Amino acid sequence: GHVRFGAKVLISPGSHILDCCPVTIGTRTMIGANATIMSGGHSVFPSNRWPESTSLLDPTADGAPIYIGSDCWFGANVTVLQGVRIGDGCTIGAGSVVVKDIPDRCVAVGNPCRVIKRLDDIPAESMEEYIERFKNGDNGGKMKWAHDGQGGTKWLRE
């Protein structure tokens, strides 16, 4: 196949990847349930979609690679179409349809998906660093990571 995954990628149930062209998914990226990632496509012109055209027989004719960066999070039912680059550290809201590039460290939502917030003013850190910091109580005093008394751990409000 044409799919390349970084380490610790999570793809939730019901998700599909059409990899007619290369699809790259970066490290620690989480894809919500029922996502669709489609690197292939067909012409918008009906005459080019008939069997005698190359488009129907070869979806790469109108497809393009997809790049999804590291430390991204997609809500449920996100669709990513061919030729899109989603930068590192992005959050894509549930139900969004991504048809154009999304820069690094942005929150983007909608159909078509658009940037609603840039995270440039928040210091960059990996998901692992964030989790460790949060577990150690460096979260503004709002929550702490604690034993739940039943053999597990959970977040508790202080």
Catalytic positions: 42
Q: Can you tell me the distance from the alpha carbon of 28 to that of 25, in angstroms, rounded to the nearest whole number?
A: 9
Cβ-contact 28, 70 below 8 angstroms: yes
Q: Can you tell me the distance from the alpha carbon of 127 to that of 144, in angstroms, rounded to the nearest whole number?
A: 17
The Cα diameter of the chain in Å comes to 67
In degrees and rounded to multiples of 5, residue 73 shows phi and psi of -140, 125
